[in-house]
Structure 1
Amino acid sequence: MIIIIGAGLSGLLTAYRLKIAGIPFKILEARERIGGRIHTVFGTKNTPVEMGATWFGAYHTHLMALLQELDVHYYEQYMEGTVFFQPFSTSPAQSMQLPSQQASYRISSGTSHLIDILYKKLDPEDVLCHQSVKAITFQNNAVIVKATDVFEPSHVVLAIPPKLWSKKIVFTPTLPDQLKHIAQHTHTWMEDSIKVAVTYAEPFWRQKQISGTLFSNTGPITEFYDHCNRGVSTFALCGFINSSFKHLSTVERRAKVVTQITTVFGRQAEEFMDYKECIWSEEADTFEVSETPLFPHQNNGHPIFGNSFYDDRLFISSAEASSEFPGYMDGAVHSGNTTAKKLIDLVQSV
């Protein structure tokens, strides 16, 4: 049996490939939910909004191939109409023209739909939540994984961000020094992001030929986009706010967000149904304090993560470990596919 630590996109995909190959496994997930940094929540009128990973492009070929394989539909991000930019707090928002760029896409029914499809391909008893791994011991003839329960697999896959496993799991024997150092200095994508969404009964911005897109240097919002569903039957605006606002209360953050979008989009922005937010630095199963400041994507895709350890009994699979588009959903897919192939080849060669 193989233990996969983490039920995010890379972990679930690794498991799916193993199941197809007939190789037994268990996924251990610390959270009460699956999906990791993919997290779609639903507001009034069942309006889906993304608190985690959202956008991708046609150049993300590994993700595109997986969506096609699983028959998961997607649609283009709405960008028609006026785009606003706030350069200074002392001046009003300016309308602007975006340069020609490649389209970005969103998954129909929400990004978590991809997670749900993968989960439904597995047996529920093979995906165990509330299993926070504390220690992994590699002995001559055994591997012992201590979580809420104890497991004795043949191999282990680390499908969570490197900084998490390097700081939260006790390895015996200890991790190689170079691996530990690089992992502890690997940036976890979105770990300090704040995602915000506001839902509405009507898409008033579209009715006024406004795209819903806002870029701002003044804050709290830094980027905002139209977030209507594919059928345009639910309506929302969604994006990011500056991470420095995490120190405010939810009520204070919401008030500042509503003030900003009202200033930009008009009084109708005050008439929202739901305000949803996710402060990823408060997610203990995503965020871990860095000893020194890390720049975005630091050490993402480092070649060391492509190696196996402890006599081919430990493998690394996560978005940050991917050699292609590390940190993104496409990287998670590439990493899951690559790790699964290594394991399948190894197990079937015995």
Structure 2
Amino acid sequence: MKTIIIGGGLAGLYAAYRLQKAGQDYLLLEASDHFGGRASGWAISETNELELGATWVWKDFNPTLFELLDELGLTYFDHPAGATIYDSKVEGKSILNRPYSAGQRLVGGMPQLIKALVKRLNPHKLHLNQAVSQVTLKGKLLVTTADQQFVGDRLFLAIPPRLAAQRINFQPSLPDDVMSDWSEQETWMAPHAKLIYHFDRPFWRKQGLTGDVISDAGPMFEIHDISDEAGQFGALFGFSSLSPDERSQLTDQEQLEAGLVQLEGYFGSDIRKYLKASLLKDWTQDTFLATEADKLAKGHQFKSAQAVASGAWKYQLRGIASEFSPSYPGYLAGALEATDLAL
């Protein structure tokens, strides 16, 4: 039996890894020119990437994920906790020793998980730049991209359900209840934009601050430290508080400058002398993740999508992206759970 996997993020790569370990045939198709999806990063050195999407893992939250990390030889460390700045339009600024997150981060950044999985897979089974446009069920599965057609026995859908509903033509058509359910599912990260700042050191720690900020008074509403464990470089990211429409009226540089001014208000005017580079990742502009509907989304959904279709597709199609997880929709842990349930 050959399993065709659509999507090269964590769910798709983990499925391929599990199938390969079990000696089963598979083929993975990724629409973009790189693997990782929402666990991708911005490379700032040969060994470190700053997270564009998924950033933390929680050991108590999902032990299966940590079993995988240990199996792949990856290391992690506790996210710094302590003094958090709260910035309110009404009450002004305050500092509370109330950590936002007590999770863990991977040494080298979350993309190390993606790299470790890719490294262990047969490269001949992995295909980049293969956006699937149609899937036809005629006993076998015929999966069509712009320039190729692939044949398999079952399909693992490792892309968000809303994206699949809008971008892939299924023949015969999926049941109406499935299409409706998938179209209504919000996609994790799709409405958001991250402003990321790379510094030569995490200078805020000398001020007794963690770099964490919660704000309703600036262009970023939530800011976190994503420096390396040893403090060899500094990095902060913030979620943009602007709507997708508001962001579309500004250049990346205008948004990054506004965010830097906000950071100056928290950490001092010396911040610019430490700045090495900055990057804006607007996920609404990522055509391999977001649809027009995602521009109106609330930002995170906790209702899982229907992973198994009825009728003709019942035994040959299974959703394994994080949004299909019954327990952790939208999280990394969800990608593993949905995949494990499919296997």
Q: Tell me whether the two structures share a fold, i.e. TM-score over 0.5.
A: yes
**Cross-structure match for 1:10:** 11
Secondary structure at 2:213's aligned position in 1?
A: strand
Q: 1:319 touches 1:328 (CA, 8 Å); kept in 2?
A: yes
Q: 2:3 touches 2:27 (CA, 8 Å); kept in 1?
A: yes
Q: 1:298 to 1:10 in 2, by over 3 A?
A: same
Answer with 45-54 or 314-323: which moved more: 45-54
Q: How does 1:114-125 map to 2 (within 5 A)?
A: 114-125=113-124
Q: What's the CA shift for 1:246?
A: 1.9
Q: 2:226 touches 2:237 (CA, 8 Å); kept in 1?
A: yes
Q: TM-score, normalised by structure 1?
A: 0.90
Q: 1:227 touches 1:235 (CA, 8 Å); kept in 2?
A: yes
Give the paired residue count: 335
**Cross-structure match for 2:35:** 34
Q: Distance in 2 between matches of 1:12 and 1:44?
A: 24
Q: How does 1:28-177 map to 2 (within 5 A)?
A: 28-43=29-44, 48-58=49-59, 59-80=61-82, 82-88=83-89, 92-98=92-98, 103-139=102-138, 141-148=139-146, 149-177=148-176
**Cross-structure match for 2:265:** 263
| 1:301-344 deviation digits (Å, cap 9, x = unpaired) | 24x314576251111110000111111001011112222x2xxx
Q: 2:4 touches 2:28 (CA, 8 Å); kept in 1?
A: yes
Q: Distance in 2 between matches of 1:233 and 1:60?
A: 29
Q: 1:76 to 1:298 in 2, by over 3 A?
A: closer
Match of 1:326 among 308, 312, 329: 329
Equivalent residue letter for 2:108: S
Q: 2:219 touches 2:258 (CA, 8 Å); kept in 1?
A: yes
Q: What are the ranges of 5 or more consecutive residues in structure 1 without an aligned counterpart? A: 342-350
Q: 1:92 to 1:47 in 2, by over 3 A?
A: farther
Q: 1:198 to 1:294 in 2, by over 3 A?
A: closer
Answer with 63-72 or 128-137: which moved more: 63-72
Q: 2:195 touches 2:238 (CA, 8 Å); kept in 1?
A: yes
Equivalent residue letter for 1:37: R
Q: Distance in 1 between matches of 2:73 and 2:127?
A: 26
Q: Distance in 2 between matches of 1:74 and 1:18?
A: 26
Q: 1:44 touches 1:273 (CA, 8 Å); kept in 2?
A: no
Secondary structure at 1:206's aligned position in 2?
A: helix
Matched, 1:224 2:223: yes
Q: 1:79 touches 1:212 (CA, 8 Å); kept in 2?
A: no
Equivalent residue letter for 2:293: S
Q: What's the C-alpha RMSD, in Å, of the aligned pairs? A: 2.1
Q: What's the CA shift for 1:219?
A: 2.0
Q: How does 1:242-261 map to 2 (within 5 A)?
A: 242-244=241-243, 245-247=246-248, 248-261=250-263
Q: How does 1:278-297 map to 2 (within 5 A)?
A: 278-290=281-293, 293-297=296-300
**Cross-structure match for 1:345:** none
Q: Distance in 2 between matches of 1:292 and 1:216?
A: 22
Q: What's the CA shift for 1:44?
A: 6.7
Answer with 123-132 or 52-61: which moved more: 52-61
| 1:43-84 deviation digits (Å, cap 9, x = unpaired) | 37975311110012221223222212222111111124x321
Q: How does 1:331-346 map to 2 (within 5 A)?
A: 331-339=334-342, 341=343
Equivalent residue letter for 1:87: S
Matched, 1:190 2:193: no
Q: Distance in 1 between matches of 2:325 and 2:49?
A: 29
Q: 1:44 touches 1:274 (CA, 8 Å); kept in 2?
A: no
Q: 1:306 to 1:219 in 2, by over 3 A?
A: farther
Q: Distance in 1 between matches of 2:46 and 2:30?
A: 30
Q: Distance in 2 between matches of 1:291 and 1:122?
A: 32
Secondary structure at 1:152's aligned position in 2?
A: strand
Q: 2:195 touches 2:278 (CA, 8 Å); kept in 1?
A: yes
Q: Distance in 1 between matches of 2:200 and 2:299?
A: 36
Between 1 and 2, higher relative CO (CA 8 Å, sep ≥ 6) is seen in: 1
Q: 2:200 touches 2:232 (CA, 8 Å); kept in 1?
A: no
Q: Distance in 2 between matches of 1:257 and 1:270?
A: 12
Q: 1:67 to 1:45 in 2, by over 3 A?
A: closer
Equivalent residue letter for 1:119: V
Secondary structure at 2:53's aligned position in 1?
A: coil
Q: What are the ranges of 5 or more consecutive residues in structure 2 without an aligned counterpart? A: none
Q: 1:10 to 1:161 in 2, by over 3 A?
A: same
Q: What's the CA shift for 1:186?
A: 0.4
**Cross-structure match for 2:277:** 274
Q: What's the CA shift for 1:163?
A: 0.3
Q: Distance in 1 between matches of 2:278 and 2:296?
A: 31
Matched, 1:238 2:237: yes
Q: 1:7 to 1:202 in 2, by over 3 A?
A: same
Q: 1:8 touches 1:159 (CA, 8 Å); kept in 2?
A: yes
